[in-house]
Each structure stands twice: as C-alpha cells, then as structure tokens.
A and B are shown apart, each in its own frame.
Chain A
Amino acid sequence: MKKIIIMLMLTLFLCGCGDKPQEYLVTAIGVDYDKALYTVSFEAVVVNTEAEGQQRVLLTGQGRTLIKAIDEVKKQTTQPLLLSHCGVVAVGKGISQQKLGGIMRYCKEEKDITLSIRFLKTENAAELLKTEPISSVSVGYDLMSLFDAQKQQNKDIKNRLFEIYEQLSPILPTIKTNETGYYFEKY
C-alpha cells in the first residue's frame, strides 16, 4: 500500500503529467464553402517562453462536412488546440443561413468555445485570417479589439453567439480589409 501511494505521489512530478506543455491557443476560426467543400481555417498563437515570444500559425483543412474539415485541421498538429479563448468566427460569402446555423450549433456544442464568441461575415474567411495582423500578434485579437472599440463608443454590435443563436436569419457585420486595416462595410 505504501509503495502504491509513493508511486502515485511521484507520478504528479512526472514531466508533462496532466499538463499541456505547448498549446495552440486558437484566436479565430474561418469557415468558407465553395464547390461543395468546407474550408476551415484556425488561426492560433503558440505560446513560447517569454524570451522567445509568441508565434502565429494558420492551420487549414477541407472536407465535405464542417466536422470533417475541422478534423482535417486537427490532424495537422499533435499539439492540443485550445479553443477557450477563440474570440471570432469569420464566415465566407459562400456560407448560407442554413450552413451558418450548422456552424453556430458546432460552436455551441463544442464545450471549450464560449457563448460570447463573435460571428462576422467576410468575402473569404481564409484570406482574412491570412492577412498580417496590425496591432497584435493575431488577426483574431485585432478583430476582437475592433469590436471592443465599437463597444466603447456605445455601438456594441450584437453578433455574439448567445445573441444570434436563436435568430432565424441573423445579420452579421461584414468586415473588409484594406492597406490601413479592417473596417465594417455595413451593419
């Protein structure tokens, strides 16, 4: 009995036991639909030591269904994808209202994604996430800052998952990019 207790105690100190040494912190998800294929893009930040800083990665996968496309993305890395701090879901113009419902259902059922995740529309979600971030380490953070800035000006945009989930035809803000950054096309 004593030996078992000591062994159990020692396992707590083993390297990597119960811990995620280098996680991919997903900051934004992009979903496009074209020619009967879903294209899902995960923008993630890899957190290294303080000296090494943060590194931005973009993982893309395709599939006939949303889930298959997400699985393709997950296959690209052995590291766990941490979805708890993902703030934005960008959907491309090919995403219909019906497909948007499917994406929202996925986000609601995925236990790590919070209900305050924001949805937005863009020409091409993958292209949006590929652009170089302007004010932070990732496009996802830049977009979140953009929404926060609107909120501070008392123009809070109601595009969070819990705000649009029950709506039959939610109206999403459209984001465009130019040389100076991102802007709302119309809302």
Chain B
Amino acid sequence: MAATLKDYENVFITGNLEEDIKTFQQIFKNDVTLRIKRITARKSVGFNAAVLFIDGMVNTEQLHDAVISPLVEMDVPNDSPNITEYVNRQLLFAGTVKIQSDLSQILEGIIYGEAALLIDGSKSALSVDVKGFKTRGISEPENERILQGPREGFEEAGLLNLAMLRRKLQTPDLSIEMLKMGSRSGTRVFICYLDTLINKKTLKKLKGKLQKIDIDGVLDTNYITEQISPHPFSLFKTSGLTERPDVVAARLLEGRIAIFVDGTPMVATIPYLFSENFQSDEDYYQTFWMGTLGRIMRYFCFGLSIILPALFVAITTLHPEFLPTSFLITVMSLRSAVPFSIVGETVGMILIFEILKETGVRMPQNIGPALSIVGGLVVGQAAVEAKIISAPTLIIVALSGIAGLMLPKLRAAVFFLRLIFLILSAFFGLYGLFGGAIMLLMYIVSLNSFGENAVLSLNRTNFQSLKDSLWRVPWQYMKTRPFFNKNLIRRGKK
C-alpha cells in the first residue's frame, strides 16, 4: 500500500478520464474530503473534464470563477492540437497553473490546496493554484510583546510569512530556497538569507545538516532546530526562535540565515550568539539608554535568578558568618518551626513556583490572573503562617523566580541551573557555588553555533564588538555587523 508521495513517482495519468478518476478515488479512498466536480462543456460536444480538490483547502469562489465557469461556457475549436495547453492559455483565470502528468506531482498539488483539472483524452493535468485555506490572521505574538515598535507577528502559513519578510526587505538580494522535509508530512521548509552578507560555509553546513534529517513529520521549527544543533543536549539554544518579522529582518541584515517552516509561526535564525539571549527587539526601538538598561538588567537578573537560592542555602547552612548577627537570628527564628531542611524547602518552593508559572501559562486568559493571586499570595501567605515554609525562603525563591521571568529565551536553562547550583551549594557551600559558576562560564565559552563561537561578541575587547552585546550603543555608532559575516561594514565606508 502506498504511503508517501514518493510511491507515486513515475506513475502517470492515462488520459482516460474515468480511469484516472478511479485512480484518485482509490488513492483517497479513506479521505472523505476529496471532491470531484465533473464538467461537460455546453458548447463543445464531447469535452469532458473533472476538477479534483480537497474540501476546505481551496477558495471555492475562485475555483468557480477561474476554472469551472470558463470551462462550462467554453467553446473549444475542433482543430486545437493540444487541448490542455489551450485551456491553460485561453480559458483559465487563475494566476498559477502547472501542466503535470506525474501522479506524485498532481497529488502533491491537491494536498497543498490546488485543484487538479483532468481532461478526457489528455495525458497531462492542470494544477490550478486556488488555495483558500483559512489562516489565523496577523496578530501580535503573545510571548514577544513590546511597548514600542512593530506589532505584527508571523502566522502559520509559510508563504504569507515570507511575504511579510519580503515587505521588510525589499531587495533582490533576499534569497529564498525551499526544501521539503518529513517523509509523511511533506512540510515545506524555506531557507532565507541575504546573499551578499552570509557566510557561504555556514549555509553549506546548514543545508548538509538539513539533508541528513530523517523524520516522518515536521510540525514545528523545533523539530528541525533540535536536530541541527551542534549541542543537542545543551541547556542553551544554538539557534534563535522568533515570531516577529522585524526580528527576522534584523537578523538577516546581520548576515544570519532564517529557517521558516510551513505550519508554524516560529522562525529559527542561525548562527545564534549567547548575547542574543539577553537582547530584545524593543532595545532597538527605544532610546539607547533604555535599551542598554534593559540589557544590563537582563544579565543581572540571569545571575540573580540562578545564584540567589544557592547563595541563600550556602550562607545559611554552611557559611552563617557572612550574615550579620541580627539577620541570622531573624532567619533562624523564622525557620525554627519549619519541619523541612532548608535545602528541601528551597527545592520544593522552586518546584511549586514552576508549577504555578506553568499552570498560569496553560490556563485560559481570564483564569490565569485569579490563579496567580490564589497560588502566589493566598497559598504562599497561608504556608508561611502555618510554618510549612519560612518567609525568607519564600522571598528568596520569589525574587529568583521573578528575575528569571526577565529571560524568556533562557527559561529552561535558568530553571535547571538554579537547581544544579542549589545542590552544589547544599553539598559544598560557597566552594560548590563558585566552582559551578566557573564551570558554567567555561561551558558557555565553549558553545558554538554552526561553527561560530557563541560568545563571539563578548570575547573581543574592541568597542565595535561590544556595541550590541553588553550594552546597545546609538545607531550612528553601529558600524559593523557581527564577525561571522563576509561583509562587515554596515554603514560608512564600503
């Protein structure tokens, strides 16, 4: 039994309308959405045809006006040598029409929302582009909201997303390549880049990795990014993900490559530098003072979020001499009635905070805030009063959690690093904490994304390399692109 389009390669339609219709009916025997519209021309005796399409995938109005209506009313000259060519050139009002005879290609078109026109006596069919499936519409991405700047976000239709990008980059330099991935899903994947800016080696490496992917379905960009990552088990991402066309356009202008996957609004960009985790598109839409402040705050919050609970555990259990006596007495008195160890209490609180956060995200929008209030305030307060947890631990975990919310791109890394640092601190105190911090630093420095060092912009000491990493300088001083491009000069002398 045929399962994929490849199974129909080099199988051709016969030219016998009834026989060909039966073939398609056989292929779609378990699919009730296939529609077959038989057409007999009023004025041309003996002209029989059939239009095959998937219900819901085509614009029926356009199908009627561009294909069915002209065919019914047509008058085919008897001396026409190639009826298919004549119908294509003279009758159909559709923009894109392909003449195909290979069954796999015709099937592919039908599945993608095209209508296949089979004409009795013709050994080739016409695939007419009358796609009309409904899409969600352009809206602001929920997880990349900004106060200032463009509000549009990608949606699920890949071609529409490419059009949105094209609107931002109106240059013939913008190259878009397509490949199909997923042996069963046949998902269209688009690779976009600005040809004169990218490093060709990176593009070659990416294509090589994409070709090696063997998977039956690609439903989201993450299906691909996880498989092309040089560090598949890393807590840190090696490719960026965004739903915003402005971000993708900015990344392409820096010489990066974007990967669009049809069916998802998430677009991946490579290479991905570690400093991008701390960047927000809003940094560039506000004054550089605000952009820099936001940048510095994010770096600070990253450290605070992963180290604070570990520092608290290390100091209160193994290094109490670091605390002022009065503060130590306060912590000790508040903790004296709590039945759990400080490590267990902190780990438990971190897990509960994650549960609350995750529940808040999954909840319907009108329940989310209520849940946050009940979970965060009421339960937290009650737990402190019932001496199940202590107030200092609650404050530390809440501070760490809130700081972590500033870094949505490092969500997983922040959670797991927080726990790893906590356990190191519980066993080895401040030595464990600092040892862990050094190892983390070494690991981050060793990260690479498609052959480029992930801390490329941080390990150089000249001003231009740091202009958009630790801080964001005014636009007039952003003279060069990141160092992985072949064309570094962004403004000024070429």
Contact = CB atoms under 8 A, between A and B. Distances in A.
Interface of A: 12-23, 25, 45, 47-50, 54, 82, 84-85, 87, 112, 114, 141
Contact of A13 (B321, B325, B344, B426): B344
A19 B328 contact: no
Contacts of A87: 325
B328 A25 contact: yes
Interface stretch (B161-169, B197-205, B280-288, B332-340): B332-340
Contact of A82 (B320, B339, B340, B347): B320
Given A15-B341, A54-B329, 4 more contacts: A16-B341, A47-B336, A85-B321, A114-B321
B333 A18 contact: no
B336 A49 contact: yes
B342 interface: yes
Interface string B455-469: 000000000000000
Contacts of B451: none
Interface string B340-360: 111110011000000000000
B88 interface: no
A156 B344 CA distance: 43
Given A14-B344, A15-B339, A15-B340, A84 B333 contact: no
Nearest to B426: A18
B317 A47 contact: no
Contact of B340 (A13, A54, A114): A13
A85 B320 contact: yes
B329 A47 contact: yes
A49 B343 contact: no
B339 A12 contact: no
B333 A17 contact: no
Interface size class of B (residues with CB under 8 A): 20 to 34
A13 B341 contact: yes
Given A13-B340, A13-B341, A13-B348, A49 B320 contact: no
Nearest to B331: A47
Contact of A19 (B317, B319, B321, B337): B317
A181 to B, nearest CB: 20
A106 B75 CA distance: 113
Contacts of A82: 320
A14 B348 CA distance: 12
Contact of A48 (B325, B333, B340): B333
Contact of B341 (A17, A45, A50, A54): A17
Contacts of A20: 317
A23 B347 contact: no
B336 A85 contact: no
B344 A47 contact: no
Contacts of A48: 333, 336
Nearest to B332: A47
A142 B334 CA distance: 24
A22 B333 CA distance: 9
B329 A12 contact: no
Nearest to A116: B321
A45 B317 contact: no
Given A13-B348, A50-B334, A114-B321, A19 B341 contact: yes
A5 to B, nearest CB: 12
A20 B333 CA distance: 12
B328 A85 contact: yes
Nearest to A22: B336
B339 A49 contact: no
Given A13-B348, A48-B336, A25 B329 contact: yes
Given A19-B317, A21-B336, A85-B321, A14 B329 contact: no
Contacts of A17: 341, 343-344
Contact of B333 (A13, A47, A112): A47
